[in-house]
Each structure stands twice: as C-alpha cells, then as structure tokens.
Structure 1
Amino acid sequence: MKKRVLSIILAAALTVTAFAGCGASSSSEAENSGKVTITNVSYDPTRELYQAYNEIFAKHWKEKKGQDVEVTQSHGGSGKQALQVANGLDADVVTLALEYDVKAIQNAGLIKDGWLDNFDNDSSPYTSTIVFLVRKGNPKNIKDWDDLAKDGIGVITPNPKTSGGARWNYLAAWAYADKAYNSDETKIKEFIKKLYKNVLVLDSGARGATTTFVENGQGDVLIAWENEAFLSKRDYPDDYEIITPSVSILAQPSVAVVDDLVDKRGTREVATEYLSYLYSDEAQKIAADNYYRPSNEKILKQYSDVFDLNLNLVTIKDFGGWDKVQEKHFADGGVFDQIYEK
C-alpha cells in the first residue's frame, strides 16, 4: 500500500480523535504544565505537511514551555470545512485553502476582524499554484488550458462549491481564457462551459479528485494543486507527469486562530505559536519538502530545482479580491451555476 494511502488512514483516525476529544478540553487543561491539545481544521491536501510539521512543533513547544502538545487534525474540502467550523466544529486554528473560507468563519463571529494581518504575507505561510497531472507519456498531448476543452478529453477537478482548490482551478482557467479571448466575457464563459462539460467527476475536495484520477484511473488529466501533483509523481514515478500551463494562479492558503474557541479553552498562546512557527526556517523547509512554496523567498530559491519560479501567475487581486469573486462566480446562481451542466 502506498505511503499516501496510509497517511490518509492515519489522518482519518486523528480526525476521529479530534471530534471525540476536543469537547472535553478546558482552560484548566490548557493551563496545566503537563499537556495541551489543540485542533487544526485544514483542507484536503495538507495531511502530509501537517503530519510532519506537528512533530517539529511539539518539540519546539516542549523546549519553549516545557509542555507536551498534541495536535489533532481534520481534513476535507476547504469550503465544507469552513462551514462546519462556522456551525460548531471545534477548531483552535484553521489552515484553509483560501482567504474567503476563513472570512466565512469570521462572519459567523468566531474569528475577530483583522486576522489577515496577524501573520506575515496576509497570513499565508506558504503558497501553491495550479498545474496539470497527466498519465506518463501524455497520450492526449495536453499542453495548455485550451486542450482541456477539446472533445474526447476527460477532466478531473473538484467541485468549486465545496473545494478551495477547485476555485483556484476555475480561476486559473478563467485567467487563461481572459487572455486568449481579450476579456470577451461571452467567449470566456463558452470556453469554461466546454471545459466543465468534459469533467467526469466533481469530487468534494482536492484529495478526493486525486484519488479519482490516480487510484481509480478515471480521466485523462487532473487539474491539481502543484503539491498534489508532485506527491502523485513521487508516489508513482513511472505513471504520471506534470504539465505546467502557460497561465496559472498564485494560490494563497490562509491560516487563522479561531478566537472564540481559544478564549474558551485557554489555548490562545499555543494556538498562536502553532501558526507563527510555520514561518520558521525549519517549518518553511518542511513546507517545501511537501511541495508547497515557502513564503520565505530565500528558502524558496533554495528549491528552484523543484519549483518553476518563472511561471506566469495571476493573483486573486487581478479578479478584484475574494468577496467579488465569490459573489460573481461561486454564489448560488453565479457564473459557475450558470455554465455547469452535470
């Protein structure tokens, strides 16, 4: 059995532990010098990253405070995870796929205003981008976004209504079409509609989409987080290759302390340190080793043999920010609902 499958099983077990144990925690437990437990609610593809990070953070916290810390994990589609936290799922910290999902928790009154400025780089300790994963030899000769809209191409991508990665995928495709069709929105929508007509499965999250493509063998191309594509290529070096499109997007996962819960549990100090330490050199290298792009430019350059640092990347600011994007594209009745045909 592949390492990634084992990690998914482990993550599922940790998630069960998180659900079972967090409600029993209290501020008295947090203040006890013996042990503290916090929960990180994250998005789909970060299992391996936080599995490694939690080990070094536990060592760091023990050295700093003389206290043992256990971090339990919950993973799923970013939008779905945000909704669950907003509806009561315990989370000391959230490490989600995009700013808008953290805002949804803020809007529920659980995270204070100004969270985006609490940590460096708009509270984004690492970034990623969107690439294509194809089968070895690239039998369908897929080179760019326009190939994904051709007849006979089976596309795998998650559902933008539930997955943060899927929203980045959609926006990267839109950015390509915007350039190709000189911002003619009618033609852009026609292109996006053709692309999604080729989508065989809309999984709820990015890891589910990877499983559909890699484990279940469906489709000709997976639109993927860069880190997901690298992990698949690492685990199956003889079966897959990565194609970098001519236009992609700077994907900025966001992190935040869930103020409402940490104040109730007395875990603010450890939760804040948990996110702060993601910016340490040690953690930044772990992010890079798990194929996330470090926000530390010096460390990122050390991995120039891994990452293409000359990609043509648009940003969410080019779309007017997440509030505008969500309202136009992903809200009920938005562009995605208008163009997508099951």
Structure 2
Amino acid sequence: MSLLTASRLRRFAPLALTVALGSAAVPAAQADTTLTNASFDVARELFTALNKPFVEEWNQQHDDHLVIKQTHAGSSTQARSIIQGLNADVVTFNQTSDIDAIAHAGLIASDWQQRLPEHSSPFYSTMAFLVRKGNPKHLTSWQDLAETGVELVFPNPKTSGNGRYTYLGAWASQSALNHHNEADTEAFMRNFLGNAVVLDSGGRGATTSFIERGQGDALITFEAEARSLARQYGDKYEVVVPKVDVIAEMPVAWVDANVRKNHSEKLAKAYLNYLYTAPAQTIIADHFYRVRNPEVAKQTAGRFPDTQLLDIGDVFGSWDDILSTHFASGAKLDQLQRQ
C-alpha cells in the first residue's frame, strides 16, 4: 500500500490511534508500558522511523515492554482533541500556539518552552513548492504563485499549522520585497489566496489532492514533505524552495496532566530528550527536516539550499498577535478571502 493510499484510508478517522513500530515484537498482553505521541499530519513516516530505535533501546534497559502509539492530524485539531480529552503523553507539533492553547487549558505548564533545549524545538523546517516535472509554470518565488492562471494546493490556515506557515511565508516574502507596504501586501495576498483551488484540512490531505487527484500546479507544504515526495516519486516532481522564506518551528512538550495520570512522566521526558540526540537528529535530517545538532547539521547541510529564513516573531510578533490579527474569525484571512 502506497503512502498516499494509506493516507486516504486514514482520512476517514484522522484521530484514530495507530500502533507504531516496536509493538509488533511484543504481544499486546505483555505490553505494560504505553506512550502516546500526538503529532502533526505529515509526520507519520518520521516518527515511524524515530520510534523503532527508541523502543529497542528502552526495552533493552528496562524490564517493562514499551509500545508507542501515534495519532496524526492537523496540529490545531490535535490541540483541540487533547483539550477535549485525548490522552496523549507528549505532543510533537509544528507551531507553538497549539501547545500554548493546551497550556492555557491547564494541561501543560506555561513555561514549557524553557524545559527543553532550543525553546523546546529539536528540529525545524521551512516552506517549499512541489511542482510537476519541468516546472511548466516556472514557479520559483512566492510572487509567482499570485500570478493569473496559477492553481495552488495547500492546507487551510484555519485548521493547519502547515497552512498558517504557507500564509505567513507568502505575506512575509511580499512584505520584505515591498518594504512593508501593507496595502500592496494585502493586494498580493488576495491574488495568492484566490489561486488556491483546494484548502484541505491538513497537510496530508493537500498532498493527496495534488498527487493522487492531480489538482493544482503547485503543492505548498513543509520542505521535508516536499522533498520526501520528490524522492518517493522519482522524476515526476521537483522541489522549489523560495529565496525568502520563514522558519517553521517544530515544538514538543510532555502533557503534564496526562503524564501524571498515566504515570509516564519519566518515559515522556526520555522520549523528548531522545529527539535531540545525534542518532535521532540523523534520522530527522534523513527525512529532510533541518536539525539543531551542530555536527549533524554540518554533515547534512548540502541537502538544503541557501535561503533567507525569516523569524515569524520578528515579522509578525507573538503567536497570540498572529492568531488574533490574521486567523481569528473576521480577521485578515477572512477579509482577504471575501474581497
């Protein structure tokens, strides 16, 4: 079964738990330790690869048997599910605002970003365009995506961190180009958003629309997803990383309320700290995410093109400001889509 065929099946139950690698070797009746990781939509393959060595090492060093369960959906959807009762021990998301939302609900400590290195973001990405072989529309910049006749596929910024970074990347690039002329930027964004033929609820749904349904001239998604797809499908697609882009942080945290209830705090902390280790960072880089470990970053630098990565906070302010200004009901996104 292909990656995207499996994705189609999962779309009917996006929050269903799937047992990750490591559990197959231990019958369910013997599995006396479970960790649930709630992650974002396009991270399935990454955590399948990461979980296996962690489970093997844990089982060698402990008398119990570990099973890691994964649940994947849009980052904001996952946050709402945890607030509503999803019993996840850890979250591995793609924007800090979704972890903040869980913290505001009292389930995660408010200082969660100070509990792990790099502000609790062990790796990061940026946005890229996946185009069809030969790049027939010659799409090389964010500005090209707003041209007449260009059809775009990306996730809905209302429901997806992937979609929000797409919106913010387009806005930040145009703003840098026009010396922060907001009227010009808004005009550009109206054209850019108007070219969207599909706004799926999450990143994997957008991938399905572009790859399997043949919609759009470009899929806008995380660089890691775009490069993984290009590797999987050989010469059918090309990846374009624009010269001006935004940093997409990948923050992580243990869910304090749940690890207390599940008696899994030690395990949850060990799992998240593992993501910073050189072996894990190597696996992460192999899946085309950019990593924090200096040695691994140096070894894998050739995989990533030079691009000016803008910090979201420097351009837009806090995520609270971003959400209220751009993504709240009636805010900029809604206004631009109506005009």
TM-score (norm 2): 0.92
| C-alpha RMSD over aligned residues | 2.1
> Any gaps of 5 or more consecutive residues in structure 2?
20-29
- Per the alignment, residue 166 of structure 2 pairs with 169
Alignment of 1:17-32 (within 5 A): 17=17
Asked whether the 8 Å contact 2:100–2:110 carries over to 1, the reply is no
Query: Cα deviations across residues 18-61 of structure 1 (Å, max 9, x unaligned)?
Result: 69xxxxxxxxxxxxx96201111110110001101111110121
1:313 matches 2:309: yes
Alpha-carbon shift at residue 10 of structure 1 (Å): 8.3
Conserved 8 A contact 2:122-2:292:
yes
- Is 1:122 the equivalent of 2:119? yes
How big is the shift at 1:297? 2.2
Distance in 2, matches of 1:72 and 1:10, equals: 15
CA distance in 1, matches of 2:8, 2:57: 25
Please give the secondary structure, in 1, of the residue aligned with 2:58.
Answer: helix
> Aligned runs of 1:91-110 on 2, under 5 Å?
91-110=88-107
Distance 1:8 1:54 in 2: 23
Query: Which amino acid in structure 1 is aligned with residue 124 of structure 2?
Result: T
SS at match of 1:157: strand
Distance 1:79 1:267 in 2: 24
In 2, Cα distance between equivalents of 1:144 and 1:16: 37
- In structure 2, relative to structure 1, the CA distance for the partners of 1:34 and 1:138 (3 Å cut) is closer
Aligned to 1:29: none
Distance 1:66 1:280, change over 3 A: farther
Offset at residue 215 of structure 1 (A): 1.4
Unaligned runs of 5+ in 1: 20-32
Contact 1:328 1:335 (8 Å CA) reproduced:
yes
Equivalent in the alignment of 1:224: 221
Aligned residue number for residue 146 of structure 2: 149
Matches of 2:43 and 2:230, distance apart in 1: 16
Query: Which position in structure 2 is the counterpart of 1:37?
Result: 34
Correspondences of 1:1-342 after superposition (within 5 Å)? 1-3=1-3, 5-6=5-6, 16-17=16-17, 35-308=32-305, 310-318=306-314, 319-341=316-338
1:245-287 deviations in Å (ceiling 9; x for gaps): 1210111011010000110110111111111101111110110
Residue identity over aligned pairs, in percent, reads 41
Distance in 2 separating the partners of 1:8 and 1:287: 25
Distance in 2 (CA, whole Å) between partners of 1:171 and 1:34 is 43
Whole-Å Cα distance in 2 between the matches of residues 11 and 162 of structure 1? 14
Check whether the contact 1:158–1:166 (CA below 8 A) recurs between aligned residues. yes
Is this contact kept in 1: 2:32–2:65, CA < 8 A?
yes
Alpha carbons of structure 1 residues 200 and 295: separation in structure 2 relative to 1, 3 Å: same
- Whether the 8 Å contact between 2:36 and 2:87 is mirrored in structure 1 is yes
Normalised TM-score (structure 1): 0.91
Shift of 1:14: 11
